[in-house]
Every structure is written in C-alpha cells, then in structure tokens.
Amino acid sequence: MNRRATIGLAAVALLISAGPPSPAVPQTALRSVEVDGTAFRITLADGHVLGQDELPGVRLMIGDGSGRQRAIRIDAVERDPRDPDAEIMLYSLSEQDAASGEWRDLCEPDPTDDASASR
C-alpha cells in the first residue's frame, strides 16, 4: 500500500492503549474514533477530543473488512508540507505482527520516499 494512498480499512473498532505512557489517554476512556478528511478524530469518554499532537503512541484495533482485527499504532503525525492549504494530515503507522508481537511499518514509502500515510 502506498503511504499516500487512501487507507481502505473497514472500521476502527477500539482504542486499546496509548504508548508511550500518556495520562491523557487512559486505556478504557474511549467514546468514538472517526476519520474526518485526513485527520483521525478520537473522542474520549469525558468528551475530550485528542489533538493531532496527542495521537502518536495511540494504538487502535481496526477491522480490515475480512473479519480480521489489525493492531495499528500511530507513530507520528504531521501536516503535508506539499499541501498549500495545510489541510492534509500525514501519519506514520505501524502494524503489530500477531505471531511475534513486533511492530513494523504499515505502508511502503511513496515515489518521493515519504514515509507518511495520508487519508
């Protein structure tokens, strides 16, 4: 999957934890997860919406449309420097291997060797 391509994941099911440790994101305090344009919108049970700068380290269980759940971690968030309107958010994402527990980059770099996913 190209990191600049749309991530076609069927559903964001559950925020399982945040790491590195963050008091702002307790493990069970999730109300909703949405994708608004290219930005993740994660709302905690108390109504607090996590800012983009609070997302690195957040781990999500995401349905991939086949019935399988994938453990995804947001490693970094930045605005796309090539977007003149500064509206596109880029994400560095990792997926946890179910067998080994190791984290690996979710997507390959785009033709410009950018290591961030968008949309």
At 18-53, the pLDDT tens digits run 444 444 444 556 788 888 888 888 888 888 898 899
How many Å apart are CA 57 and CA 21, to the nearest integer? 8
Answer whether residue 118 shows pLDDT above 80.
no
Answer whether residue 11 shows pLDDT above 60.
no
Answer whether residue 4 shows pLDDT above 50.
no
Q: What is the pLDDT of residue 77?
A: 92
User: Which residues are CB-contacts of 32 (< 8 A; sequence separation ≥ 6)?
Assistant: 41, 42, 43
**Annotated domain spans of the chain:** 11-96
What does the pLDDT look like over 60-89, one tens digit per residue?
Answer: 888 778 888 888 899 999 998 889 998 899
Residue predicted with more confidence, 12 or 32: 32
Alpha carbon separation from 71 to 62, 81, 102 (Å, rounded)? 7, 28, 11
